[in-house]
Amino acid sequence: DKAWASVSQHMIIAYHHRGEDEATVNELGVRTIHWVDLERKNGEWVISLEWYWDPFEIHSLEPEVAPGTARCSLPLPAPPPGEYNRSAAVAYADRYSGVRHGPGDGRYNNKDYRDYTGLGGDCANFVSQVLSDEKAGGIPPDWNWNEGSTAWLQAEALVYYLLDSGLAVKIMRGSFQEVTAATEEYPQGAVNVLHPGDIIGYEEKGEIGHVSIVVGRDSAGYVLVNSHTADRYHMPWDLGWDKYTTYWLLQIVY
Reported as a single tens digit per residue, the pLDDT across 25-55 is: 999 988 887 878 999 888 899 988 887 767 7
pLDDT at res. 191: 96
pLDDT at res. 22: 83
Q: Which CATH number fits the domain that encloses residue 175?
A: 3.90.1720
Can you tell me the distance from the alpha carbon of 123 to that of 191, in angstroms, rounded to the nearest whole number?
Answer: 20
In sequence order, the 6+-apart residues with CB closer than 8 A to the CB of 62 are: 242
Can you tell me the distance from the alpha carbon of 71 to that of 27, in angstroms, rounded to the nearest whole number?
Answer: 17
pLDDT at res. 237: 96
Q: Is residue 19 a part of any domain in this protein?
A: no
Cβ contact 252:131 at 8 Å: yes
Q: Is residue 59 a part of any domain in this protein?
A: no
Q: Is residue 140 a part of any domain in this protein?
A: yes
The region that residue 215 occupies, defined by phi over 0 for left and psi between -120 and 50 for alpha, beta otherwise, is alpha
Per-residue pLDDT of the chain (254 residues; tens, 9 = 90+): 889 887 878 888 899 888 888 888 999 988 887 878 999 888 899 988 887 767 766 555 555 555 555 555 556 677 788 899 999 999 999 999 988 776 655 557 888 999 998 788 899 999 999 999 999 999 999 999 999 999 999 999 999 999 999 999 999 999 999 999 999 999 999 999 999 999 999 999 999 999 999 999 999 999 999 999 889 999 999 998 888 999 999 999 99
Q: Is residue 113 a part of any domain in this protein?
A: yes
pLDDT one-digit tens code per residue, 194-209: 999 999 999 999 999 9
Spell out a b/e string for 204-240, using b for 16 or more CB atoms within 10 Å of the CB, else e: eeeebbbbbbbbbbbebebbbbbbbbbbbbbbbbbbb
User: How many separate domains does the chain show?
Assistant: 1
pLDDT at res. 173: 98
Domain of 129? 66-252
Q: What is the pTM of this model?
A: 0.87
Q: Is residue 180 a part of any domain in this protein?
A: yes
pLDDT at res. 62: 54
Could you give the 3-state DSSP secondary structure of residue 128? Answer: helix
pLDDT at res. 225: 97
**207: β partners:** 204
Q: Where are the alpha helices (DSSP H) in the chain?
A: 86-95, 123-132, 150-153, 155-164, 176-180
pLDDT at res. 107: 59
Q: Is residue 219 a part of any domain in this protein?
A: yes
Can you tell me the distance from the alpha carbon of 130 to that of 227, in angstroms, rounded to the nearest whole number?
Answer: 10
Q: Is residue 42 a part of any domain in this protein?
A: no
If we measure between CA atoms, which residue out of 191, 165, 171 comes closest to residue 254? Answer: 165
**247: β partners:** 174, 202
In Å, how far are 62, 75, 119, 240 from 18, measured between CA atoms? 20, 21, 39, 19
Q: Is residue 247 a part of any domain in this protein?
A: yes
Can you tell me the distance from the alpha carbon of 35 to that of 8, in angstroms, rounded to the nearest whole number?
Answer: 9
